[in-house]
Amino acid sequence: MSITIKVGMGEYKLAQKPDVLTTLGLGSCVGICIYDKTTGIIGMAHIMLPTITQARDTVNIGKFADTAIPALIRDMIALGARKAQMTAKIAGGAQMFSFSKESDLMKIGLRNTAMTKDMLKELGIPLLAEECGGSSGRTIELLSEDGSLVIKTAGKEVRIL
Amino acid sequence: MHFDFQNMNSYQLDVLREVSNIGAGNAATALSKMVKRRVDMGVPTIKLLEFSEVGAILGDEEKIVAGVIVPVAGSMNGVLLLILEYKDTSNLVELLTGKKFSDFEAFDELALSAIRETGNILAGAYMSALAGLTSLSVKCMFPDVSIDMAAAILSIPAIGFGMMADKVLYIDSDFAEGTDNVKAKMFLVLEADSFEILLRALGAIS
């Protein structure tokens, strides 16, 4: 029996075969899913913002793409995963509201997605699949059995990346 | 002394609750006028949340809800977020437009516009009460509506104001039309610095 572990906003968590990592109702946040095929170790980060550089009074590195992704990979390696075998899939970065002028809060989904891709590239983790953008929230599940990413959107069919 | 909204004293929390109570009371009156029914209101609660807790404020993260977001700008910055579940949204739309809709997907532009306008009027009433009490100038910006999973909608204010701290403060007010046909929740989420400005204007920070 596999157990399903929930990853809340601003958190990152790891799991091993046969368990599942999930995030419910991703909006403009991005869910970063990393899979090591040979060990069955998986990791998921639920980032809210692109970068920690403008932050103050914060110690939660899980909130930012540029700090959460390296930390996730580091912890996976500590658990026995190998960086050379890691692959990534990402989802989220939607624009939930379309206010015409409130530009920064507005484009946060796009900025989160862009920074996530930059970080993966910089760290040398291949991005195998993505479903980002649009205006709908998503629930995602990362399966340690085969690295599949299951995506559910309100009123649409379930998709598997 | 450095003010930190994550460590307010009990007096400051009381002041915040009271000012929210007045804001929400004004919003309840505005809603009552719109639907021409009695509207009851609960005492606002102050929720200091970890980001990981935000998505589950309403219980089920994946529950589909209607959310109207109204950005607030001026001396204070933040957002007001009005949240209604399907039954409540549909009853509200029927009260306002006379039209019935079978589910969220059936809502037409008129229905969405009625929901958006409700958010607009409630937020305006809420903020004008706060502005009146504090003499701070605040303006409600153009509202927008989204119908989607609760967690996806609830996370938006947290993201906007998540840069500065490890927690986020949601001031939660409940409204119920007299016969419980329409229940709604309104959240006020301010930028970290805006709590200090608000409490200072009310004399709760020396």
Give residue for tokens 């050379």. A84
**Average model confidence (pLDDT) for chain B?**
91
| B98: confidence class by pLDDT, cuts 50, 70, 90 | very high
Task: Say if strands A4-6 and A20-26 run parallel, antiparallel, or are unpaired.
Answer: parallel
- pLDDT band (50, 70, 90) for residue B5: confident
Residue B148 has pLDDT above 60, yes or no: yes
* pLDDT tens-place string over residues B119-144: 999 999 999 999 999 999 999 998 99
Residues on chain B touching A97 (C-beta within 8 angstroms): 69, 144-146, 156
* pLDDT in the model for residue A57: 66
pLDDT of residue B166: 83
Pairing of strands A159-160, A149-153: antiparallel
The answer to whether B163 contacts A154, with C-beta atoms less than 8 Å apart, is no
Neighbours of A85 (CB within 10 A): 12
Q: What is the pLDDT of residue B22?
A: 93
Spell out which chain A residues touch chain B, with contact meaning CB-CB distance below 8 angstroms: 8-11, 24-29, 48-49, 54-60, 63, 94, 96-102, 105, 108, 135-139, 152, 154-155
Task: Taking the CA atoms of A120, A121, A123 and A125 in sequence, report the sign of the dihedral they define.
Answer: positive
Q: Is the pLDDT of residue B87 over 80?
A: yes
| Residue A29 annotated in active site | yes
Query: Which pair of tokens denotes residue B159?
Result: 């993201």
Q: Is the pLDDT of residue B202 over 80?
A: yes
Residues of chain A with pLDDT under 70: 57-58, 99-106
Given A15, A26, A29, A86, the catalytic residue:
A29
Give Cβ neighbours of residue A102 (< 8 Å, ≥ 6 apart): B71, B141
Q: Is B74 on the interface with A (CB under 8 A)?
A: no
What is the reported pLDDT for A154?
A: 86
Rg of chain B taking only CA atoms, in angstroms: 16
